[in-house]
Chains A and B, each alone.
Chain A
Amino acid sequence: MADEPLILGIETSCDETGVGVVRGHTLLADALASSVDEHARFGGVVPEVASRAHLEAIVPTMRRALDDAGVTLADIDAIAVTAGPGLAGALLVGVAAAKGYALAAEKPVYGVNHLAAHVAVDTLEHGPLPEPAIALLVSGGHSSLLLVDDLATGVTPLGATIDDAAGEAFDKVARLLGLPFPGGPPIDREARAGSPDAITFPRGLTAPKDLAAHRFDFSFSGLKTAVARWVEAKQRAGEPVPVPDVAASFQEAVCDVLTGKAIAACRDRGVDTLVLGGGVAANSRLRALAEERAAKQGIRVRVPRPKLCTDNGAMVAALGSHLVAAGVAPSRLDLPADSAMPLTIVSV
């Protein structure tokens, strides 16, 4: 549809520099540069390293996105950019770039919420999102359950991790098992050769006394420690560590809690659509277990392909497109980057 808005999205909240272009719900370009290799030797994302990489990558990534989409900035109707939450210095590079592009091209700019963008990206694959929906967003920096009443104006947080993010637990367990950073893909791979029932690891915040106060919250810190204790005990006994079994059992504990609470939230709110997003939503077991459990409850699971689950510019463009279509006013040129942007704010 040529009369749908043509929106550009810029994402720099962590270690990926993303520029995406969408027209309505149609993905036209999704250019990405990553500094992940520069962080690997530090065992996690180093904010200053990420910020430096964004500055170097933004212009070439923009050029690639425009070339891939076959458009120029003059053709664009609006520019959306992740304003938060995320790493402050990294966000600021994207926000300042978006303002520079918007100023020079004389286009409106929308500062948007990174987590809402993780929900919106699914519209590029599965069309408009039925509202209300429940969204489970899981990545290296976030683990949240949200009720999406209206993606253009606000979402309601139902719960979140009280300690480590799910992706962080994958990174830490991967390191413990001698697997590379980031830990999600290698654990997923190792787990295929292991048994999810080999070791019973704890399921955080699922005991009745915890559910009273933390019904839809998550905790992965205790799980990570339990895996460490189990692995160290094996090592001290001089026995080999069965990496596939540990990976599969750990992954099962994470996915069991995430999907269990997500389905419970759907039932509690009488919602029949569950959206998965964030880098951990690329995990094959999480996708399969969510499908399996949702099907039994008559709940439809929507999950974008893995490349759209991890951070990218297309998701920001998708949310921008939704905001423009909903008639939301653009942001002002003094819009700040907000590293702790609350979920209740979709655009500033």
Chain B
Amino acid sequence: MLVLVLDSSTPAVTAALAEITAHAVAPRGERSVVDARAHGELLAPQVSEVLAEAGARPADLAAVVAGVGPGPFTGLRVGLVTAASMGQVLGIPTYGVPSLDAIGHAATHPRSGAAPEAGPVLAATDARRREIYWAVYDLAGERLAGPEVDTPAAVAERARELGVRVAVGEGARRYADILELPLRAGLDYPPPYALAELAAERVRAGAPGDQLTPLYLRRPDAVAAAGRKPVLQ
């Protein structure tokens, strides 16, 4: 079953195709460009390109898998509305996967045959405003804490409490000096095949699709209107 995988929760704007069979998830092409300010421009052409490269048409898709964040709001919505609109036209299910789970899953289930990590893993991405989105995973890739948004200092403390041994993700890299954890390189952003693997059981089972709800973790910046200032002095 051919699935489209989208993630726009980080500066990496990602579209990929994966073939989900009874026992495996096989890559069928990927486009990922790191540009924090161009999610809206980049994503749709990338979808078009991966389809063309695979010799596939939209109607060949069996499902859309989307990273639901957490991530900066404006970019995150691009991926989710693209997934939702394509799913609606094609009459296929859309499955949401927390984007940090994909980083945690990839760290604990390396594809390359590299040894998995030795203890709980902190996955973190940049939340701007000097904060990070984070979650902690055990060696099986199960989430132990998060996703939440906090200052790097607060995350460092939680990570110590949870016995975290290694950190992954661009948020961990950016604040490595504060987190004081060994950093695993090469896993800055949610890998699309990890997203596909995390949705694979639902795809195979033909489970009902999700309404793709973003993990915003922050409320909109807005304050209720206060009293009006008088004009007369």
Residues of chain A at the chain B interface (Cβ within 8 Å): 41-44, 46, 48-49, 51-52, 55, 58-59, 62-63, 73, 88-89, 92-93, 95-106, 175-176, 225, 228-229, 232-233, 236, 332-337
* A232 in contact with B231 given A48-B73, A100-B85, A106-B58 (CB within 8 Å): yes
A100–B44 touching, CB < 8 Å: yes
Residue in A closest to B74 when the chains form the complex, CB atoms:
A89
Contacts of B220 in A (CB 8 A): 46, 48-49, 52
Grouping DSSP codes into helix (H, G, I), strand (E, B) and loop, the A interface class, with mixed when no group exceeds half, is helix
* A95 in contact with B74 given A59-B85, A101-B85, A103-B47 (CB within 8 Å): no
A95–B40 touching, CB < 8 Å: yes
B73–A97 touching, CB < 8 Å: no
Residue in A closest to B221 when the chains form the complex, CB atoms:
A48
Give the interface centre of B44, B45, B90, B224 by most chain A CB atoms within 10 Å.
B44
Contacts of A175 in B (CB 8 A): 225, 228
> Shortest distance in angstroms between B8's beta carbon and chain A's nearest beta carbon?
9
Contacts of B42 in A (CB 8 A): 334
B114 at the interface (CB under 8 A from A): no
B83 at the interface (CB under 8 A from A): yes
B41–A100 touching, CB < 8 Å: no
A103–B86 touching, CB < 8 Å: yes
Contacts of B43 in A (CB 8 A): 96, 99
B41–A335 touching, CB < 8 Å: yes
A104–B90 touching, CB < 8 Å: yes
Contacts of A99 in B (CB 8 A): 43-44, 82, 85
Contacts of A42 in B (CB 8 A): 222-225
A-B residue pairs, 3 tightest by C-beta? A100-B85, A43-B225, A48-B220
Could you jot down 6 A-B contacts, CB within 8 Å?
Answer: A43-B225, A58-B85, A100-B44, A103-B44, A228-B231, A334-B45
B86–A104 touching, CB < 8 Å: yes
> Shortest distance in angstroms between A205's beta carbon and chain B's nearest beta carbon?
20
A51–B85 touching, CB < 8 Å: no
- B201-233: CB near A (< 8 Å → 1, else 0) gives 000000000000010100011111100101110
**How far apart are the CA atoms of A59 and B81 in the complex, in Å?**
9
* A96 in contact with B81 given A175-B228, A229-B231 (CB within 8 Å): yes
B74–A96 touching, CB < 8 Å: no
A96–B45 touching, CB < 8 Å: no
B232–A103 touching, CB < 8 Å: no
> Shortest distance in angstroms between B42's beta carbon and chain A's nearest beta carbon?
7
Given contacts A59-B85, A100-B44, 5 further A-B contacts (CB under 8 A): A96-B40, A96-B77, A96-B78, A96-B81, A175-B225
* A105 in contact with B78 given A43-B225, A49-B220, A229-B232 (CB within 8 Å): no
B132 at the interface (CB under 8 A from A): no
> Shortest distance in angstroms between A217's beta carbon and chain B's nearest beta carbon?
23
Contacts of A236 in B (CB 8 A): 232
Residue in A closest to B80 when the chains form the complex, CB atoms:
A55
Contacts of A73 in B (CB 8 A): 89
* A105 in contact with B89 given A333-B48, A334-B44 (CB within 8 Å): yes
Residues of chain B at the chain A interface (Cβ within 8 Å): 39-45, 47-48, 57-58, 73-74, 77-78, 80-86, 88-90, 214, 216, 220-225, 228, 230-232
**How far apart are the CA atoms of A73 and B91 in the complex, in Å?**
11
Residue in A closest to B83 when the chains form the complex, CB atoms:
A100
Contacts of B84 in A (CB 8 A): 55, 58-59, 97, 100
Contact of B82 among A46, A100, A228, A334 (CB under 8 A): A100
Contacts of A101 in B (CB 8 A): 85-86, 88-89
Residue in A closest to B229 when the chains form the complex, CB atoms:
A228
Contacts of B231 in A (CB 8 A): 225, 228-229, 232
B223–A336 touching, CB < 8 Å: no
Contact of A336 among B40, B89, B214, B232 (CB under 8 A): B40
B74–A55 touching, CB < 8 Å: no
B48–A46 touching, CB < 8 Å: no
**How far apart are the CA atoms of A99 and B43 in the complex, in Å?**
9
Contacts of B44 in A (CB 8 A): 96, 99-100, 102-103, 333-334
**How far apart are the CA atoms of A73 and B225 in the complex, in Å?**
42
Residue in A closest to B224 when the chains form the complex, CB atoms:
A41
> Shortest distance in angstroms between A227's beta carbon and chain B's nearest beta carbon?
9
**How far apart are the CA atoms of A93 and B45 in the complex, in Å?**
16
> Shortest distance in angstroms between A172's beta carbon and chain B's nearest beta carbon?
9
> Shortest distance in angstroms between A230's beta carbon and chain B's nearest beta carbon?
10
**How far apart are the CA atoms of A57 and B221 in the complex, in Å?**
21
B214–A55 touching, CB < 8 Å: yes
* A334 in contact with B41 given A55-B81, A97-B85 (CB within 8 Å): yes
Contacts of A58 in B (CB 8 A): 81, 84-85
Contacts of A62 in B (CB 8 A): 85, 88
Contacts of A63 in B (CB 8 A): 88
> Shortest distance in angstroms between A62's beta carbon and chain B's nearest beta carbon?
7
**How far apart are the CA atoms of A335 and B43 in the complex, in Å?**
11
Residue in B closest to A72 when the chains form the complex, CB atoms:
B89
Contact of B81 among A46, A93, A176, A335 (CB under 8 A): A93
Contact of A48 among B39, B40, B78, B222 (CB under 8 A): B222
Contacts of A55 in B (CB 8 A): 77, 80-81, 84, 214
> Shortest distance in angstroms between B53's beta carbon and chain A's nearest beta carbon?
15
